[in-house]
Amino acid sequence: MKQIFAKIGDYMGLVKFSHTIFAMPFALMAFVFALKTTDTQFSWILLLQIVGCMVFARNVAMGFNRWTDWKIDRDNPRTTSREIPTGKISPKSALIFVIINALLFIAVSSSINLLTAVLSPVALAVVMFYSYCKRFTSWAHIVLGLSLGIAPSAAYIATTGTLTFAPCLISLLVLTWCGGFDIIYALQDLDFDRQRGLHSIPVRFGVKGALYISIALHAISIAFLILFSLYCPQGWLLWIGEGLFCGCIILEHILVTPTKQRSIGIAFGTLNGIASLTLATFTILQLIVG
């Protein structure tokens, strides 16, 4: 039994399951928004289907990324302790894990409605494509943002069978927000990526240029947040959520500057996790109370 739990822990580490905190809250926010702005009735089964799709898609995205990059991870001092380079999970087992989760994702998506069934392979193609991007483009961070940004619109489609402008604003918010903080995260590998011939915005534009681009993306994120809020019932809960989200982003750029990068871990993981949870929680509460 201890070995089984240890192996489960290895796979959760492989896919960085804790990082679902970045996209999952926005998917749930879009789900509640759809319920409150359409005639759709709440369903526990539908909620479980959406959460299941999120988990399976996340497993595919990260598992495939670790499988494609395991030799790079083996050579990068920062990532040598990951599950495949250390032998905790074999490349073959990781690929099987990806295939199983991809099939589960398509199966669950197909059980929701026709549009989610048709779009499920497209979503998988996007999240898997990201893993190859740093080999040929500096803008892989934007593709990562797109991969995560799919979630809110997908949740809305799952709930209503259609797509409107408002959930697309949430997706654009997530795209630019995640793209911006992934640029900050990539600063850790600047020297290695240059030596290995890998592409990233820090490699192309340097630390200062990369941080300026990150700031610009986050400014756009805030603009999309404001636009989306216009479609929500106004109230102090919504305003608090927006304020905390914006505050976390600002603090992130105070902690990480061209001359100060020791707090990347806090800026990337802790602050962005707090930002997504607080925004989603307060927005959902505002949607519920009206």
Catalogue all structural domains in the chain, each as residue range(s) with its CATH number: 8-289 (1.10.357.140)
Cα 164 to chain centroid, rounded: 21
Q: Above 90 in pLDDT, residue 277?
A: yes
Per-residue model confidence (pLDDT) at position 248: 95
The one-letter amino acid code at 152 reads: P
Residue 100 CB-half CA count within 13 A? 8
Per-residue model confidence (pLDDT) at position 14: 78
Q: Above 70 in pLDDT, residue 60?
A: yes
Per-residue model confidence (pLDDT) at position 1: 67
Q: Which two tokens stand for residue 197?
A: 């011939």
Backbone angles phi, psi at 257, to 5 degrees: -130, 170
How many other C-beta atoms lie within 10 A of the C-beta of residue 177? 28
Average pLDDT over residues 172-196: 95
What is the SS3 assignment for 257?
Answer: strand
Per-residue model confidence (pLDDT) at position 21: 77
Per-residue model confidence (pLDDT) at position 2: 65
Per-residue model confidence (pLDDT) at position 13: 76
Per-residue model confidence (pLDDT) at position 85: 92
Q: Above 80 in pLDDT, residue 6?
A: no
Q: Identify which of 118, 107, 115 has the alpha carbon closest to the alpha carbon of residue 56.
A: 107
Length of the chain: 290
CA–CA dist 239, 16 (Å, integer):
31
Per-residue model confidence (pLDDT) at position 244: 97
Average pLDDT over residues 200-228: 97
Of 40-54, 138-152, 254-268, the range with the lowest mean pLDDT is 254-268
Alpha helix segments (H runs only) across the chain = 2-14, 24-37, 44-68, 70-75, 91-110, 114-133, 140-160, 165-186, 190-196, 201-229, 236-255, 264-265, 272-289
Instruction: Answer with the residue of higher pLDDT: 143 or 19.
Output: 143
Average pLDDT over residues 195-216: 96
Q: Give the percent of the chain with pLDDT over 90.
A: 86
Q: Identify which of 17, 11, 7, 4 has the alpha carbon closest to the alpha carbon of residue 100.
A: 11
What is the SS3 assignment for 1?
Answer: coil
Q: Above 70 in pLDDT, residue 99?
A: yes
Per-residue model confidence (pLDDT) at position 290: 82
